[in-house]
Amino acid sequence: MPPPGLMIQTVGTPGNIEVLLTPSPFQESEIDYIEDSFLLPEVSPDNKPVRYIVYYAPNQSHGYFDRWSTLKHEPKNIVGASVLCSNGDHLAKGFIDSTRAKAYFLECKQYSIFELLKLPERPWVSYVVVQGITPGVYTKCKSLVHLSLGYQRGLVYCVMGDRSVTDARVLFACLTKAGKVVTWQVV
């Protein structure tokens, strides 16, 4: 398997494969702000607290929130996930289990999933999921996060070029043959 951070030139196409830094270097202190709110969060129909992860939003942002709507409160407002999702296409998921939501957010940050989702969807971009719930080749971010990663971490290569889907399938077949593809259980 190619080392992380390496750009691989594919044969017969001007595109390349970007091997993402996985897991990415980050300090846990960067995410110390993830704490349960001192105010009551929004609740699910069965009155359980809901936490939200915004995977991507129009301004290339992501985040962890303890509510969907912004709460107007003195002396400061408590910002909700809808702030990022109000203008355009986005991908967000609500979790009743706050421990799982925090874990998924940290995993996505550590495995560079949020950085990957900042890439614009183009016909010449494909994603090769080597480790995930459903490994394979994907061309859409929503399918990648929902179907392949199950809203959590994974090892993903990004293939770019005129033949990205073909090159991605070849790469996936080679990694499968080499025994590098891992299917994780749904939790």
Of the residues 56, 87, 110, the one at which a domain ends: 110
Of the residues 83, 110, 137, the one at which a domain ends: 110
What is the span of the domain harbouring residue 63?
Answer: 27-110
User: Are residues 62 and 88 located together in one domain of the fold?
Assistant: yes
Give the N- to C-terminal CA distance of the chain in Å, as an integer: 27
Cross-strand partners of 54: 63, 92
In the chain, the number of structural domains is: 2
User: Are residues 138 and 120 located together in one domain of the fold?
Assistant: yes
Residue with tokens 């750009």: 7
User: Are residues 87 and 69 located together in one domain of the fold?
Assistant: yes
Report pLDDT for 48.
60
Residue 179 CA to residue 164 CA, distance in Å, equals 22
Structure tokens at 33: 């702000």
Cross-strand partners of 157: 19, 128
Structure tokens at 53: 């992860």
Strands 51-56 and 63-65 come out as antiparallel
User: Are residues 14 and 48 located together in one domain of the fold?
Assistant: no
User: Are residues 120 and 178 located together in one domain of the fold?
Assistant: yes
Of the residues 54, 78, 110, the one at which a domain ends: 110
User: Are residues 133 and 105 located together in one domain of the fold?
Assistant: no
In this prediction, the residues of the chain whose per-residue pLDDT falls under 70 are 1-49, 58, 73-78, 187
User: Are residues 42 and 98 located together in one domain of the fold?
Assistant: yes
Residue 39 CA to residue 81 CA, distance in Å, equals 16
